[in-house]
């Protein structure tokens, strides 16, 4: 087998026609979102750079080559979580090659991924969420939009991408639910609170005065300046700004509202299966992180109220 010179283009390592078919497979058969599709394409770029360096074709790769590839990524400072995601993309690619009959064996089959410690995210209390929403400056033209946006983000447990793509035609406010398009274009019905409905009604009264760009009329949350749907970055900045205004010093992002929503449901007695449906998790294992959050809170409550600890605190006060 002849190998390409290092100065040749990357597409000689992985055929353009193969890449085109793989992208079609991800879009049509796997129904991946544009963000996930882009991530998988970037994973292959890492692989292509390695293949060029080692003068290997994609269909001649062995598990030993891939183990060396993982070592290279670790040396570059790639985190365990990022490495696991890259390996997930590679497994998808080589499974596709196996399905297409391009390869007879999957070199990723026995490839072990890194151990990832489960991170328990920061969670806001109901009072902190109320503080953030209540301190929105309604004297600003975007005030009511931001207030409604934060309330819907929390009340419905939406991903930020789902919030940005939310459409008026998918709101069934009289019936008390909304239709959400989640990952992989999968739709789910989510109940919406009366408070969120009220905030949306106020927002729609302001929204009629915005010059909306053609083709964007159906989106719920619109930029006043551009007349287009709010971007994820813009929502991130709004959440950060409101956290600062409310004097909350936790690590907060739009996803914090989703975590808080799920945690509060669990604390209120909802079962994991119901929370899984509300959040649109494909696997119950993803939802189970909230049992860890709940357990850690229970542990802290026990420590705070345990009679031995209370006696210890009283002794320390007396010593002072």
Catalytic status, residue 159: yes
Catalytic status, residue 22: no
Residue 147 near residue 136 (C-beta atoms within 8 A)? yes
Tokens coding 310 = 């209370």
Catalytic status, residue 118: no
Task: Pick the catalytic residue from 183, 188, 213, 232.
Answer: 183
Burial of 76 (0-12, 13-18, 19+ CB in 10 A): exposed
d(CA 221, CA 241): 18
Task: Pick the catalytic residue from 95, 188, 255, 297.
Answer: 255
Tell me how crowded residue 312 is: count the other CB atoms within 10 A of its CB: 11
Residue 33 near residue 44 (C-beta atoms within 8 A)? no
Task: Pick the catalytic residue from 145, 147, 159, 259.
Answer: 159
Per DSSP (E only), the strands in the chain are: 171-172, 177-181, 187-191
Nearest to 223 by CA among 286, 141, 279: 141
Burial of 199 (0-12, 13-18, 19+ CB in 10 A): buried
Catalytic status, residue 258: yes
Phi and psi at 219, nearest 5°, equal -75, 140
Catalytic status, residue 255: yes
| DSSP code at position 222 | B
DSSP bridge pairs for 171? 178
String of DSSP letters for 53-74: HHT--GGG--HHHHHHHHHHHH
Catalytic status, residue 281: yes
Tokens coding 134 = 């209540």
Task: Pick the catalytic residue from 58, 154, 219, 290.
Answer: 290
Task: Pick the catalytic residue from 91, 147, 258, 259.
Answer: 258
Q: What residues are labeled active site?
A: 159, 183, 255, 258, 281, 290
């Amino acid at each position: 087998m002849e190998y390409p010179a290092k100065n040749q283009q990357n597409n000689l390592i992985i055929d353009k026609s193969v890449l085109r078919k793989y992208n079609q497979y991800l879009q049509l058969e796997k129904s991946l979102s544009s963000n996930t599709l882009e991530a998988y394409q970037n994973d292959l770029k890492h692989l292509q750079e390695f293949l060029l360096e080692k003068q290997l074709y994609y269909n001649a790769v062995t598990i030993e080559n891939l183990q060396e590839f993982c070592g290279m990524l670790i040396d570059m400072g790639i985190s365990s979580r990022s490495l696991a995601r890259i390996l997930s993309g590679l497994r998808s690619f080589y499974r596709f090659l196996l399905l297409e009959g391009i390869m007879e064996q999957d070199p990723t089959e026995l490839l072990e991924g890194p151990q990832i410690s489960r991170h328990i995210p920061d969670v806001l209390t109901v009072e902190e969420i109320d503080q953030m929403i209540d301190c929105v400056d309604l004297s600003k033209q975007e005030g009511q939009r931001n207030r409604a946006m934060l309330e819907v983000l929390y009340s419905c447990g939406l991903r930020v991408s789902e919030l940005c793509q939310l459409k008026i035609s998918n709101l069934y406010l009289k019936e008390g639910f909304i239709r959400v398009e989640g990952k992989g274009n999968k739709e789910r019905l989510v109940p919406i609170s009366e408070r969120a409905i009220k905030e949306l009604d106020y927002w729609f009264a302001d929204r009629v005065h915005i010059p909306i760009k053609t083709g964007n009329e159906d989106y719920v949350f619109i930029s006043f300046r551009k007349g287009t749907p709010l971007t994820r970055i813009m929502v991130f900045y709004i959440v950060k700004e409101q956290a600062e205004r409310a004097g909350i010093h936790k690590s907060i992002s739009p996803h914090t509202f989703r975590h808080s929503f799920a945690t509060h449901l669990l604390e209120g007695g909802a079962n994991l299966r119901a929370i899984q449906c509300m959040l649109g998790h494909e696997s119950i294992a993803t939802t189970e992180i909230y049992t860890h959050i709940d357990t850690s809170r229970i542990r802290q409550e026990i420590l705070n109220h345990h009679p031995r600890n209370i006696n210890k605190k009283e002794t320390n006060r007396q010593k002072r």
